[in-house]
Amino acid sequence: MSSEDWAVIAEYLAILKPLKIATKRLEGRPEEGKYGAIWEVLLTMEWLLQHLEDSKLQHEHDEEPYLRIGCNLGWMKLDKYYTLTEDSPVYLASLVLHPAFRWPSVESQWADHPDWLERGKIAVRELWEEYRKLPVEQDTIPEQPTAARKTTDLDDFMASVRKLSTQRAPSAPPTRDEYAEWLSTSDPGDCLVDNPIQY
C-alpha cells in the first residue's frame, strides 16, 4: 500500500473512532445508571453530530470528495435519529432529571433552538403529569463500586455540559409539585453525580 493509502486509512480511523466510542458507551451498563443509560443518548448524539460536522469541514477542500460526502451522509442519518427522539420525551426527561445536568445544561446546548426548548419543556411537563400520581416504591439500592475507565472526548464533552447545571433555578411555587421542586433546587455537588439511579 502507498503512503497515500495509509493516509486515507488514518483519516477514516479519525472519523470513525468517536462512533466506536459512542457505540460502546451506549451499549454499556444502564443498570448502574451510566454507560448506556437513556440520559446519555441526546448528549452523545450532539457530540457525534458536531464531530461529523467538524470532519466534513476538515475535508471540505479535499481533491476527492468521498470523506466529505461520507461525513455528510452520516450526519444526515444521525440527525434523522436525533429528530426521532422528539417522539419520546423520556430522552429529554432523563437528562433533565439527572442531578448533574438539569434544564440549564439543556438550555445551553439548545440555545440556538428556542423552538426545541419550548417543545421539550412542554413534552417533559406532560410526561411528568402523566406519571406523577403513581406510587413510589422505597427500595434501597446498594452502592456498587465503579471501575475506573479511560477518559474519552465524549467524557470531556459530557463534563463540559455538566458544569452548566450548577446555576440555580428560580424558587418553587407554593403548591407541592415534585418536578417543580426538582427544577428549583440543586446541590453544589450535583454536578459530580455519575449515577443518577443511586442519587
| Beta bridge mates, 29 | 34
- The domain locations on the chain are 3-131+150-192
Which of the given ranges, 35-44, 74-83, 169-178, 189-198, has the highest pLDDT on average? 74-83
% of the chain exceeding 90 in pLDDT:
54
Per residue in 127-148, pLDDT tens? 999 998 888 777 665 665 555 6
Alpha carbons 119 and 25: distance in angstroms, whole number:
28
Give the pLDDT of residue 142: 60
Tell me what the mean pLDDT of segment 17-29 comes to: 89
Decide: helix, strand or coil at residue 105. helix
pLDDT tens string 106-128: 999 999 999 999 999 999 999 99
pTM for this predicted structure? 0.75
Is the per-residue pLDDT at 173 higher than 60? Answer: no
Closest CA to 51 of 78, 24, 32, 27: 78
Indicate whether 162 pLDDT > 90: no
- Confidence (pLDDT) at 172: 46
Residue for cell digits 464531530?
51
Grid cell of 196 as nine digits: 443518577
Q: CA 127, CA 134: separation in Å to the nearest integer?
A: 12
pLDDT band at 67; cut points 50, 70, 90? very high
State the chain's mean pLDDT as an integer: 85
Helix or strand run (H / E) with residue 82: helix 66-84
